[in-house]
Structure 1
Amino acid sequence: MDVGLGVLDHPNTRKIHSPPTPFLVSITVYLGYLVGVFLYSFSPLLHKDLLLILSAATMLLVVGILDDAGFLHPQIKLMVAMPVAALILILFYLNLKIFSVNLVNYFFTIFWVVGITAAYNLLDGMDGLSTGVCVIASFFYFIIGFIADDSFLVS
């Protein structure tokens, strides 16, 4: 898709790849995610949380595309990503339940989501690495969800 449209990421001092590579691969990954959400939507186990995560993913996709296109400075991206993560996580009570104090759980979850997103973005300059890390992480989320009998995490 990117090659046909001429939307390629050309190598520079920040990039490790040598040939120009597709630029909007994130849209393809997002579309794959949408297919999974669509298939899961027929399940009686559909969680409202899945749609909320889809909303957050959509907002972060837009931020990522603007960042990849060079329209966002890293600090601005962080100032957008943090409130998006906070809004979705707090409004819909999504948080890692690690500590006994709920407020601490929310802050830790926001830090986790924004931190993982930023760390993953650092891998983006290395051709293929971000995809491999995503596949490995998804596999382990599936295994953990399967063992914990958590259909939401498995999906």
Structure 2
Amino acid sequence: MPVTAWAAAAACLSGAATLLLTPAMIKAAHAFDWLDYPQADRWHATPTALMGGVAMYGAGALALLLLGPLAGVGMDVGLVGGGATLLLAVGMIDDLWGMGPTTKLAAQVGAAVLLMAAGHVFGPEWPLWMSGPTTLVWVIGITNAVNLLDNMDGLAAGIGGIAAVALTAFAAAGGALPAACSGGRSGARRSASVWFNAKPARIFMGGTAEA
């Protein structure tokens, strides 16, 4: 199959799984009191479910497990998946019990190092003293930017979805199958989550959005 077909398949599966998993996560959040209650510095008026990022993570993982072997590409497994899982776990802990900025930064550095260990760096031909810090700053910066964008209903998910769709288009045009499949998964699950995160949001992605 052409690259665009694989990317479309990854997008359809990931988006559909997000639409199915998110309502279940909303019910679980209300059952276990995983809720963000109204506060003076928050804009929502009613207790709102957290852990939207968990459903998105699960949807992406499902698409990865089902399509990865068929497409014959790794699609973010191994070290990269370990970094995403680390960010997911840290985000869950932060949402439920709180976590200091130093600990969160250390986890982000760890996830970025795993990404680099998998060979994903800026300027592979650059010396390590150039490519390493550049990649580290970029990954940590984007991670925190997504987290900071999650302050208005649908904003972080919408922008993340648009960015992923653009990545998919460029990757497909260049014949980069792993990147196209990864972008398709990411774009679809974030776009699908907007259905539940648009105003008035029924669930927030919270810290788990970083994964």
TM-score in terms of structure 1 length: 0.86
Superposition deviation, residue 100 in structure 1: 3.2
Residue 174 (structure 2) aligned to one of 136, 148, 151: 148
Paired AA for residue 122 in structure 1: L
Q: How does 1:43-82 map to 2 (within 5 A)?
A: 43-47=70-74, 49-82=76-109
Q: Which residue pairs with 2:66 in the alignment?
A: 39
Q: How does 1:113-124 map to 2 (within 5 A)?
A: 113-124=139-150
* Secondary structure in structure 2 of the residue aligned to 1:100: coil
- 2:34–2:96 CA contact under 8 A, matched in 1: no
Taking a change above 3 Å as real, the CA distance of residues 104 and 13 of structure 1, as seen in their structure-2 partners, is farther
Taking a change above 3 Å as real, the CA distance of residues 106 and 120 of structure 1, as seen in their structure-2 partners, is same
Unaligned runs of 5+ in 1: none
Q: Deviations over 1:3-39 (max 9, x none)?
A: 3433211122443333222101111010011112112
Paired AA for residue 139 in structure 1: V
Query: RMSD of the alignment, in Å?
Result: 2.1
- 1:17–1:125 CA contact under 8 A, matched in 2: no
Residue 123 (structure 2) aligned to one of 93, 97, 114: 97
Residues in 2 aligned to 1:78 and 1:62: alpha-carbon distance in whole angstroms: 13
Residues in 2 aligned to 1:72 and 1:63: alpha-carbon distance in whole angstroms: 8
Residues in 2 aligned to 1:123 and 1:48: alpha-carbon distance in whole angstroms: 26
Q: Which residue pairs with 2:165 in the alignment?
A: 139
Paired AA for residue 28 in structure 1: A
* Secondary structure in structure 1 of the residue aligned to 2:157: helix
Residues in 1 aligned to 2:86 and 2:168: alpha-carbon distance in whole angstroms: 24
- 1:17–1:127 CA contact under 8 A, matched in 2: no
Question: Which gives a bigger RCO, structure 1 or 2 (Cα 8 Å, sep 6+)?
Answer: 2
Q: Which structure is higher in helix share?
A: 2
Paired AA for residue 39 in structure 2: N
Residues in 1 aligned to 2:101 and 2:44: alpha-carbon distance in whole angstroms: 21
Overall identity of the aligned pairs, in % = 27
Q: Which residue pairs with 1:18 in the alignment?
A: 45
* Secondary structure in structure 1 of the residue aligned to 2:99: coil
Q: Deviations over 1:103-153 (max 9, x none)?
A: 311211111111111111112232221111221121111111111110111
Moved over 4 A (4+): none
Residues in 1 aligned to 2:63 and 2:94: alpha-carbon distance in whole angstroms: 26
Unaligned runs of 5+ in 2: 1-24, 182-211
* Secondary structure in structure 1 of the residue aligned to 2:72: coil
Residues in 1 aligned to 2:90 and 2:48: alpha-carbon distance in whole angstroms: 20
Taking a change above 3 Å as real, the CA distance of residues 60 and 30 of structure 1, as seen in their structure-2 partners, is same
